[in-house]
Amino acid sequence: MVVTMEQVESWIASGQLDQAAEALEKARSTGESDGRWHFLRGMLAEKRGDAAGAIEAYQRALELNPEDERTMFRLAYNLDLRGEDAEAIRLYRACVDQVPTHVNALMNLAVLYEDHGDFDAAAQCLQDVLATYPNHSRARLFLKDVRSSMEMYYDENLDRSRERHNALLDIQVADFELSVRSRNCLKKMNINTLGDLLRVTEAELLAYKNFGETSLYEIKAMLAQKGLRLGQALEDPNFAPPPPPPPKRPLPQAPPEVLNKPVAELELSVRSRKCLQRLNITTLGELAMRTEAELLGTKNFGQTSLAEVKERLRQYNLSLRQADS
């Protein structure tokens, strides 16, 4: 039986990945010079979670079919998720220039523009969507978020500085070249990170058994190299330690296959997926343990993303956790 590329695409879409892979391999001799064959390789790699393989395949497909809109979009989408914003924007723009306009490309382009603080360009993308589809609910909600952002003052340099500061405080003290005695004492005192060290005073360290002046000098010198000091978190009102991890909560009642389903398979928008990545949410169960307030507290997670996430959870008879439970 001769297998067509349409059949292979259908198998990939329906999850029959081994069957699709076998058919693509059999067609390799002619497929190497066929953009459609490489496009299907990219789809297959995406379904298998192989982002690098998908990007490589889509890039080859685009070399062979430079005007293919589907390939442009899939490549842009995968680059977008990996943080390669400049190339993703270029490809999304190429999709938008096609007729008819690719609505999802406009939506994702708006997300990237907003991430880069270009709110006017983001709003224009969404207005273009609504000009063609006036009842597009996600575009309407997103446009409200963008307009709200345009009215808010946001100091990007300060935000980046805080992110670097918090990353520094998360460094494990075991990563520093301290003496065995100092390491052991800190471990017994449950001081594990640089941030923990800034929450104790010299007196507290010296009061601990076997912790002497030599260890104190060693730790103070290490902190001084980083412009930090013992007790800084207690003295400095502007000190901003990293937020605590979310509290441990019981999983909601649902079959294990539902709770363990990766959020990457939910076909969320790029905006929502990036926000969930920032929160280290990888499964449906982890998502259902979060509250609306926790999600909305994440940078760039607005009502648009919230509505989308809640709708996906409803499809699996799940919901976000209530704040008082």
Q: Is the pLDDT of residue 236 over 70?
A: no
CATH fold for domain 171-235: DNA polymerase; domain 1 (1.10.150)
pLDDT of residue 154: 45
Q: How many residues are present in the chain? A: 325
**Tokens 């409200």 map to which residue?**
144
Distance CA 264, CA 130 (A): 27
Band of the pLDDT at 289, cuts 50, 70, 90? confident
Band of the pLDDT at 322, cuts 50, 70, 90? confident
Band of the pLDDT at 152, cuts 50, 70, 90? low
71 Cβ partners below 8 Å, 6+ apart? 35, 39, 42, 58, 61, 62, 65
How do the domains of the chain map onto residue ranges? Answer: 171-235, 256-314
Distance CA 45, CA 194 (A): 40
Q: Is the pLDDT of residue 232 over 90?
A: no
Partner residues linked to 262 by β-bridges: 283
SS3 call for 172: strand
What's the mean pLDDT in 263-287? 81
SS3 call for 174: helix
pLDDT of residue 54: 93
Segment 69-86, tens digit of pLDDT? 999 999 999 998 877 888
pLDDT of residue 273: 79
Band of the pLDDT at 127, cuts 50, 70, 90? very high
The least confident of 107-121, 166-180, 201-215 is 166-180
Band of the pLDDT at 142, cuts 50, 70, 90? confident
- Which tokens hold the place of 259? 């709770």
**From the CB of residue 260, how many other CB atoms can be counted at a distance below 10 Å?**
14
Partner residues linked to 172 by β-bridges: 193
CA distances to 49, 78, 138, 277, 307 from 264, rounded to whole Å, are 9, 12, 19, 10, 17
SS3 call for 301: coil
Q: Is the pLDDT of residue 243 over 50?
A: no
Distance CA 121, CA 84 (A): 19
**Tokens 């919230």 map to which residue?**
306
Segment 298-310, tens digit of pLDDT? 766 778 788 889 9
CB contact at 8 A, 130 and 139: yes
Mean of pLDDT over the chain = 82
Nearest CA to 318 out of 245, 242, 257, 276 is that of: 257
Within this chain, domains 171-235 and 256-314 share the same CATH topology: yes
SS3 call for 275: helix
Q: Is the pLDDT of residue 160 over 70?
A: no
What's the mean pLDDT in 13-31? 92
Q: Is the pLDDT of residue 32 over 60?
A: yes
CB contact at 8 A, 323 and 291: yes
CA distances to 28, 309, 310, 320 from 292, rounded to whole Å, are 48, 10, 9, 7
What's the mean pLDDT in 241-262? 71
pLDDT of residue 65: 94
Q: Which CATH class is domain 256-314?
A: mainly alpha
CB contact at 8 A, 164 and 237: no
192 Cβ partners below 8 Å, 6+ apart? 172, 173, 174, 186
Instruction: Record the pTM.
Output: 0.55
Q: Is the pLDDT of residue 186 over 60?
A: yes
Long-range contacts of 83-90 (CB under 8 A, 24+ apart): 85/112, 85/115, 85/116, 88/112, 89/113
